[in-house]
Amino acid sequence: MKKIKILYTIPNFDTAGSGKVVYDLVKGLDKQRFEPEICCFHTKGEFFKEIEQLGVKIHLFPFAINYIPYVTFPFRLFRTILFFTKHKFDIIHSWHWSSDFSEPLAAKLSGIPFVYTKKAMGWGNKAWIWRSKLSTKIIAINNDMMTQFFADMQNKAVQIPLGVDTRYFHPKQKTYKSPEGIMITKDDFVIVSVANLVPIKGIEILLNAVKTINDSHIKTLIIGDESSEYGQQLQQQFNNDQVYFVGKKLDVRPYLAMADVFVIPTKDEGEGMPIALMEAMAMGKIVVGSRVSGIIDILKGFQDNLVEPSNEDSLCQKIIYFKHLNVNVRSLLEEKTRNYMVDNFSLVKFINTHENFYFSMLK
């Protein structure tokens, strides 16, 4: 049986967010039936080293191009068409975050089925409509995307939530020291948040809530690249002996092992499907999240763990509630959280669903 040759396109592997999802998907595909290849713009980024370890063919090519100058656009697009046709891909699966439509246009002119995964809740320009119309299929990762963006495209849009490797992310014994030497005690209550430090993530809401509670035993670890303007502002305003900014980490498991609760305080704009939240739950961590797109999909079975977005009082109450939770009740909730991830958002389920989806595209 001829293998299905799939090209996964993604701009870069600067971070392990979408890159990790592509990594897991490529690694997990049945190599007896599929032949995955990857295309990105450059080799920069710490996570690119992990991608190279997959042993699949990696192309460095500008698969998405600027429309301007318009006069040369057809000639530059032709290069992409030649690239797609030369390698005889059966399917192109784009993980590009952008609304770019040059990529699906080149695929359409090449006669190659094209699918893109919609990863975030942005829909700020008409280019998304063109990207969608030119695509053969569209994957939405949460329910609100299906109703808000693709209600009139039910013939081509399908919902496939992300998955997490529940063997890699599994419960660990609580630890009291971080890799860089941050020490906590058994009397401390540790909050962990893993996020790309941009304003939509609402980290200041979490830190203001902790400040309001004013409990010296509450320690907060923020994992994420703090070099952005927003990250710098957070550090200036909140850096103290109870709040630790530890930077971006490829492996967040040692920090999650310290956590008593994981908090994701995203603002009203919503999320696609935050993988950091899923990783925390896979490790059996109690989580608190904003009642916004993406998070409500993951926490569908945990309504009591949701808080109103941008509501510091609501978050304060939830943190205090979980801090004083009975030990036995806490243990049962942690076990339920872990089992829920295994049953509903496992990587095995994610990969199997994609494999069946790819077969359906070629029928």
Q: Is residue 172 part of a domain?
A: no
Q: Is residue 181 part of a domain?
A: no
Best CA proximity match to 95, nearest among 53, 138, 60: 138
According to the model, what pLDDT value does residue 17 have? 76
Residues 324 and 357 in one domain: no
Residues 121 and 233 in one domain: no
The CA-atom distances, in angstroms, between 136 and each of 95, 152, 360 are: 15, 15, 11
Residues 287 and 340 in one domain: yes
Following CA atoms 67, 116, 98, 107 in sequence, which dihedral angle do they give, to the nearest 10 degrees? -20
Residues 353 and 275 in one domain: no
Dihedral sign of CA atoms 149, 154, 158, 159 in order:
positive
According to the model, what pLDDT value does residue 16 have? 61
Q: Which residues of the chain have pLDDT under 70?
A: 15-16
Q: Is residue 175 part of a domain?
A: no
Q: Is residue 282 part of a domain?
A: yes
Residues 119 and 233 in one domain: no
Q: Is residue 249 part of a domain?
A: yes
What DSSP designation does 219 have? E
pTM of the model: 0.93
Residues 307 and 208 in one domain: yes
Residues 256 and 155 in one domain: no
Residues 332 and 355 in one domain: no
Q: Is residue 174 part of a domain?
A: no
Residues 129 and 35 in one domain: yes
Instruction: Domain count for the chain, please give it.
Output: 2
Phi (first) and psi of residue 3, to 5 degrees:
-75, 145
According to the model, what pLDDT value does residue 1 have? 77
The length of the chain, given as a count of residues: 363
Residues 114 and 195 in one domain: no
Residues 97 and 110 in one domain: yes
According to the model, what pLDDT value does residue 284 have? 98
Q: Is residue 335 part of a domain?
A: yes
Rounded CA-CA distance 120/124 in Å is 11
CATH code where residue 268 lies: 3.40.50.2000
- Domain membership of residue 91 as a residue range: 4-163+347-361
CB 304 within 8 A of CB 273: no
Q: Is residue 176 part of a domain?
A: no
User: What residues contact residue 185 under an 8 Å CB cut-off, 6+ apart?
Assistant: 176
Residues 234 and 353 in one domain: no
